Amino acid sequence: MNCPRCQRENAPDSVFCDECGTRLPPSCPSCGEPNRPAAKFCRKCGQSLNVSGAGATSGARSSPESYTPRHLAERILTSRAAIEGERKQVTVLFADLKGSMELLADRDPEDARKLLDPVLDLMMDAVHRYEGTVNQVMGDGIMALFGAPLAHEDHAVRACYAALRMQEAVKRAATAFRRAHGVEMHIRIGLNSGEVVVRSIGSDLRMDYSAVGPTTHLAARMEQLAPPGTIRITAETLRLAEGFVQVEDLGHVPVRGLETPVQVYDVIGVGPVRTRLEAAAARGLSQFVGRGAEMEQLRDALDRARRGRGEVVAVVGEPGVGKSRLFHELTHSHRVKGCLVLDARAVPYGRATAYLPVIELIKAYFRIEEHDDVRAVREKVTGRLLTLDDTLKDVISPVLWLLDILPAEDGFQALEPAQRRQRTLEALKRLLLRESQVQPLVLIGEDLHWIDGETQALLDGLVDTVPTAAVLLLVNYRPEYRHGWAGKTYYRQLRVDPLPRESAAELLRDLLGNRAELEPLKRLLIERTDGNPFFLEESVRTLIETGALTGTRGACRLARPTEQLEIPASVHAMLAARVDRLDPEDKRLLQAAAVIGKEVPASLLLEIAEGNDDEVRAGLARLRAAEFLYEVRLFPDLAYTFKHALTHEVAYGSLLHERRRELHARIARTIEGEPQDRRAEQLERLAHHAFHGELWDRAVTSLREAGLRALARSAHREAIIHLENALTAAGHLPDTIENQQLAVDIRLELAPALSGASRYRDLLDRMVEAEPFADASGDRIRLGRVLLRMSQAVRMFGDYRRAMDVGRRAVAVAEATGDAVLLGETLHRLGQIHLGVGDSGAAIDLVRRSIAVLGPLAETAEPSGFVRGVGPHAWLGYALGYRGEFTDAIFSGRHALHLAESRNRPGNVLAALGTLGLTFLEQGDVARAIDALERGLGICETWAILDWSITIESALGLAQAMAGRFDQAIALQRRAEREEPHAPQGFPAARILRVGETFLLAGRIDDARAEADRGLGLARAGGERGGQARALRLLGEVLASEDPLDAEQSERYFRQGLEIAEELGMRPQTARVRLGLGALYRRLGQREQARPELAAASAMFAEMGMTHWLEQAKREISEPA
C-alpha cells in the first residue's frame, strides 16, 4: 500500500506509514481491498470498514471536487487534456494539526470531526487564496501543490504566502478554540520545491501524480521537523522565494532517507520584496544597458505631462526583458523631482480579488502602514482628503470601503453593487485628478496581464481623463494582454525586445568581467537566452550557486567547463507558466514542435502533429502571433524556429518519456520515408530521432555515419555525442558476437574524437571495455587497434612503463597480422613512448620503420580523415630536433605539413604545425616558432581541439618571452595552466618547465625556481629522463641568476643535467648546459674554466644553426669577468 503523503510502499497490514507516520487508507478486513480514507463500506465486497477516530475524512471532503473553489475547478478541468501526462515544477506543501491523535483520543468521531474541520477549512482557504490545489485531505492535515495542475511562475512564493496566511488564520482562531474546547491548537507546515509528473486528473479533480526525486518526501520531512506554529522550507524553495519571505537559517539537518543533510530554513514572515526587480535590487542591480531609445521616449512623455498634456505610455514585452526596470530607472532619476509617483501592480493570484492593485495604490497615497489600526487609517484618509480639497468629503466613504474599514451604518454600504462600483470609480478619478492639479502625477500600473476586472474598469475610465491633466500613466504588460486605448492620440506604445547581442555582451561584462576564458561561456549564454536580461542574470546566478563560476561580480572565473547550462528554476517556472496558458491544442502542437528540435520544418510538423493540415496551420499562426515560434526560412521549404532555446527546452522537458519516444519514432519514420537525397541532408536529424525514439538498429547506423562525418571535419565534440549515443544504442541490440564486434568498432571510431578533445581518461576507459571483446573475437586487427589506442591514452597520463608494455603488445599483434596500416601506426606510437622516456635513438628508428612500412599508404587517409603519414613524419622531425639534427628535422616536419594540407583537415595540420613549432623553438628560431605556433593556436580555437592546445599555448608563451614580450608570454602560460586539468598532456613536465623558463626570462626568479623544482619532480616521477635534463639545466640557470649566488648548487645542477643530456644524445640541451656553466664561471671570475665551456657551446650552436644562443655565447665570451 502506498502512503498518500510520501508515496512510500508499506506492508499490507500497516496502519501508519513507516516512513512519515501518516495514517494509511483502510483496507477491507474481509477481502483486503484498499479503500479511500472516508469509505464506510468496502467498494469491492460491501464489508463495513468501521472507520473512526481522527484519521477519518468527512464525506464533505471525500474528493478535491468537494472543496476546490469553482473558478479553480473550471480552469483545471478546461486544461485537463493538456496537463495530463506532463512534468511540472511545483512547490509541495504539507500541513497538519500537531498532536491531533492525543488531542482527540477520547472523543467521539463526530466530535473529533467538528474540531478538525474548522482547522482544515482555514488551511484550504489559505491554499486556494493563492490558487494552489489541495490534492489530499488526510484526517488532520492536507497536502497541496502549487504549480500543478496549473503552472505558476511564482509557485514557491505563493506556497510560502499560503503557509504564512495559514499560520496567521489558525493563530487568530486559537483563542476561541481554546475557550470552546479547552485545548491548544497549533499547526506545522513544511514546503519543498521540485518536479512531479502529473499522470491523470479525474472528473472529481483528484490528481494522480508521482514525484521526481525527493520532491514530495522532503516536503513531508520538513513538516515533521517543524515545531508547532512554524514553517520549514528547503533551500530549493528559498531559491525561488528569496526576498519575498523572511527566513532564519537553521543549518544542515539530517533527513531520514537521504544520504546528506539538507539545508533547512524557518519562515518567520513576509519579506520586504514584492517583485523580481525588488529582489534583484536587494542583491544589487546590474548595469542598465541597451535601452537608450526607450528611456528617451519616457522622458519626453514626462515632460509633456508636466506641461499639462497627459500621456499614456504602455511598455510591452515578454517576461524578463526589463519592462519594470525601465520604470525604475525613470522614477529613480532627478527627472521626477516635484512629481508624486504612485506605483500599483497586479499579482498572478489577484484576478479573483477585486481592486487589489487599486488598494495598493490607495495605501501608498495615504501612507498607510501595515501596523496602522483602523482608527489610524481612517484619520489618515480623512485628514489627507479634506486637506487636499474639502469638496472631496464624499470620496471618504468609497476609499474606506475599498480598505474594508467602512462602518456598517454608513449609507454607502446600502447602495446597490452597481451604484457602489460606479461611485467608487468616480471617486478615485476625482481624487487623482485633483491631486494632479497640485503636483504632476506619475501613475504606474505594472503587470496588467494579471489585472482584475474592477481595476481594469477604473483604468479605462482614468485613461479617458489623462489628456487634459498633468498625469503620466505608465503601464506595462505582456503581449497577450488586450485593451482599447490604441486609438487614443495621447497613447504611445513601446515594444521592448531582448537585448541586441552587443548590449547583452555589455551586461555580461558587468556580471562576469573581461577574462578571455569566459568568452565562450558568454556566447553560449547569449545564444541560449536570446539576450533576455532576466534570463541572463538568473543563468549567471545559477552558475555561481552551482559552483561553475567563482569569484565576485565583474571578476568571475570558470571553475569547471560549462558546455551545457542548467535552466534556472525561476526561468523554468516563468516559461512553463506561459506555455500552460496556451489553449490545449496549441500547447500540444508546441510540444510536438519541440520534439522535432529548435528548428522546425513545417512539412515535418504537419506529418506528425495531431489534427488535419488546416488545424495545424491555424495553430502555427497562433503560436507565431504569441511569439513562441518565428518563421526562419521560406525557401525551399517553410521552417520555424523557437524564439528562445530555453522555451524549446521547457516545452520538450514537460513531456513524459513515453510521449517523447512516440513522437521521436514517428519523426524518424517520416524522415526515412523521404527521397534518398533529402534523407542524406537530414542524417543528423534522423540519427537524433531514431535514438530518442528507441529505434535501435536505425539509430546505430545513422549515428555512426553522423559521427564519422563530424570527425572528418574535426568537430570532435559533435562526433563524441553521436558515437557515444551509437554505443548506447548498440547496447540495446541482442547480445551476439556480431554486435559485440560492432560495439568494439564504435569504440575505435570514438578514439580519435576523444583524443582530439583531450578526453584521454574516457579514451582509456573505452579501450579497457573493448579489449576483452576484441581478444575473444579472435580478430587480431581489432585487438591491435584497441591496444594501439590504449597505449596512446596511457602515455598521455605519463605512465610510460605501462604505455611501453601495451605499445609493444600492439606492435607484436600488428606484426602477426601483416597489416601495413596497423603496423605503421603501432610503430609510430611506440616511437612516441620511447621519446617520452628520452630514448630518441629508438624513437627515430621506430618512426622511420613506420614510414617505410606505410610506403605509399602514408598519403592515404583513415576513415576519420587523418592522413596516415602526417603523424610519423611530424614525430620524426620532433625526435630529430631533440638530438639537434635540425636540417632533417625541419625537412620532415614540413613534409608532414605538406601531407596535412593536401587534405586540409584541421587535426592533420595542427599536428604538423605543433611539432614543427616545437622544433623551431628547440633551435631558438623565435620568429618561425611564433609563426607556426600562432597558426596552430588559431586552429585549436576555431575547431575547439584541446589535444594540442596546452602544448602550443605554453610553447608560444616561451617563444614570446624569448622575443621580449613578457606580458603576452605570461598570459599564454596562465591560459595553458587553466586548461591543463581538463586536457592531460603526453609530456607532463614539459609545460611546467616552459613556464619556469618564461618566468626566468621575465626576471621573476622565485617563480621560475618554484616551477623548475615542480617540473623536476614530475619528470622524475614519470621517468621522463629528457625532462629531467631540461629541469636540471633550468635550475642551474635560475640559481646562477639569484643574488646572493649559490654557485656550488648551480654548478651541481648543471653537471647533473649535462650527464643526462650527453647520455641521451640531447645535443641542443648539452650545448645550453655548457653555455650556462660558462656563464656561471665567468660570473665567478673563473675565466679559465669558463673559456672551454663557452667555446664548446659556441661550436655546437654554430653547427646546429642555433643562432639565438650562439649570440648569447659570444656575448659571454666578450664580457669581462
Four-residue CA torsion sign, 878, 883, 886, 887: negative
Report pLDDT for 62: 55
Q: Which of these ranges, 29-33, 316-320, 536-540, has the smallest mean pLDDT?
A: 29-33
Does 633 map to a domain? yes
Domain check: are 144 and 180 in the same one?
A: yes
Report pLDDT for 54: 37
Domain check: are 196 and 309 in the same one?
A: no
Q: Please say whether the beta carbons of 704 and 749 come within 8 A.
A: yes
Report pLDDT for 42: 53
Cα distances from 106 to residues 111, 184, 197, 302, 734, in angstroms, run: 10, 16, 40, 70, 64
Q: Is pLDDT above 50 for 1066?
A: yes
Q: From CA 955, how far away is CA 947, in angstroms rounded?
A: 14
Domain check: are 507 and 490 in the same one?
A: no
Q: Which of these ranges, 544-558, 714-728, 847-861, 1023-1037, has the smallest mean pLDDT?
A: 544-558
pLDDT in tens, 185-243: 889 999 999 988 876 565 555 556 655 567 888 999 999 999 999 999 999 999 999 99
pLDDT in tens, 749-768: 999 999 988 899 999 999 99
Q: Please say whether the beta carbons of 797 and 760 come within 8 A.
A: yes
Residue 25's pLDDT band (boundaries 50, 70, 90)?
A: low
Q: From CA 815, how far away is CA 134, in angstroms rounded?
A: 74
Q: Is pLDDT above 50 for 44?
A: no
Report pLDDT for 178: 77
Q: What is the DSSP letter of 5?
A: T
User: Cis peptide leading into 12, omega within 30 of 0?
Assistant: no
pLDDT in tens, 140-149: 888 888 987 7
What residue type is assigned to position 91 of the chain?
T
Average of per-residue pLDDT across 284-313: 94
Domain check: are 416 and 349 in the same one?
A: yes
Domain check: are 457 and 516 in the same one?
A: no
SS3 per-residue string spanning 971-982: HHHHHHHHHHHH
Last residue of one domain, picked from the residues 451, 467, 495 = 495
pLDDT in tens, 272-283: 888 888 888 888
The closest alpha carbon to 233, from 271, 288, 182, belongs to: 271
Total residues found in the chain within this entry: 1121
DSSP letter for each residue of 1014-1033: HHHHHHHHHT-HHHHHHHHH
Q: From CA 579, how far away is CA 412, in angstroms rounded?
A: 44
CATH number reported for the structural domain that contains residue 388 in this entry: 3.40.50
Average of per-residue pLDDT across 1054-1071: 97
Residue 883's pLDDT band (boundaries 50, 70, 90)?
A: very high
Domain check: are 488 and 505 in the same one?
A: no
Does 1 map to a domain? no
Does 333 map to a domain? yes
Report pLDDT for 9: 64
Does 17 map to a domain? no
pLDDT in tens, 453-464: 899 998 999 999
Report pLDDT for 276: 84
Report pLDDT for 30: 41
Q: What angle do CA 1023, 1028, 1029 make, to 5 degrees?
A: 135
pLDDT in tens, 377-415: 999 999 999 999 999 999 999 999 999 999 989 999 999
Helix (H, G, I), strand (E, B) or coil at 861: strand
Domain check: are 488 and 512 in the same one?
A: no
Domain that holds residue 633: 570-655
Report pLDDT for 300: 96
Domain check: are 455 and 400 in the same one?
A: yes
Residue 59's pLDDT band (boundaries 50, 70, 90)?
A: very low
The closest alpha carbon to 431, from 467, 475, 397, 457, belongs to: 397
Domain check: are 428 and 532 in the same one?
A: no
Average of per-residue pLDDT across 39-62: 44
Does 391 map to a domain? yes
Q: From CA 393, how far away is CA 385, in angstroms rounded?
A: 7
Does 587 map to a domain? yes
pLDDT more than 90, % of the chain: 64
Report pLDDT for 635: 77
Domain check: are 556 and 443 in the same one?
A: no
Report pLDDT for 213: 64
Domain check: are 313 and 221 in the same one?
A: no
Average of per-residue pLDDT across 240-262: 91
Last residue of one domain, picked from the residues 208, 227, 246 = 227
Crossing angle of the two packed helices 926-943 and 906-923, in degrees rounded to 10: 150
Output the pTM of the full model. Answer: 0.75
CATH number reported for the structural domain that contains residue 631 in this entry: 1.10.10.10
Report pLDDT for 222: 94
Average of per-residue pLDDT across 263-273: 93
DSSP letter for each residue of 826-849: HHHHHHHHHHHTT-HHHHHHHHHH
Place of cell 466530535: 111
Q: Which strand (E) or helix (H) includes residue 718?
A: helix 716-730
Q: Is pLDDT above 50 for 248?
A: yes
| Range list of β-strands (E), 960-1105 | none
Report pLDDT for 1098: 97
Specify which of 347-356, 639-648, 918-927 reaches the highest per-range mean pLDDT.
Answer: 918-927
Q: Is pLDDT above 60 for 245?
A: yes
Does 169 map to a domain? yes
Q: Which of these ranges, 430-439, 491-500, 512-521, has the smallest mean pLDDT?
A: 512-521
Please give the residue that has the higher pLDDT: either 630 or 18: 630
Q: Is pLDDT above 90 for 73?
A: no
Average of per-residue pLDDT across 886-912: 93
Average of per-residue pLDDT across 612-635: 90
| Range list of β-strands (E), 147-260 | 187-201, 207-212, 231-234, 245-253
What residue type is assigned to position 457 of the chain?
A
Average of per-residue pLDDT across 913-939: 96
Q: Is pLDDT above 90 for 1097?
A: yes
Report pLDDT for 207: 57
Report pLDDT for 40: 44
CATH number reported for the structural domain that contains residue 160 in this entry: 3.30.70.1230
Domain check: are 116 and 138 in the same one?
A: yes
Residue 26's pLDDT band (boundaries 50, 70, 90)?
A: low
Report pLDDT for 1043: 86
Average of per-residue pLDDT across 805-821: 96
Last residue of one domain, picked from the residues 466, 495, 524 = 495
Q: What angle do CA 532, 535, 541 make, to 5 degrees?
A: 140
Report pLDDT for 31: 44
pLDDT in tens, 941-988: 888 787 788 999 999 999 999 999 999 999 999 988 887 766 566 677
Does 671 map to a domain? no
DSSP letter for each residue of 757-776: TT-HHHHHHHHHHHHHHHHH
Q: Is pLDDT above 60 for 465?
A: yes
* Number of domains into which the chain is organized: 4
Report pLDDT for 52: 34
Helix (H, G, I), strand (E, B) or coil at 188: strand
pLDDT in tens, 332-364: 999 999 999 999 999 887 777 788 899 999 999
Residue 45's pLDDT band (boundaries 50, 70, 90)?
A: very low
C-alpha cell recorded at residue 1042 = 639569484
Place of cell 482547522: 119
pLDDT in tens, 81-133: 555 667 888 999 999 987 555 555 556 666 666 777 888 889 999 998 998 88
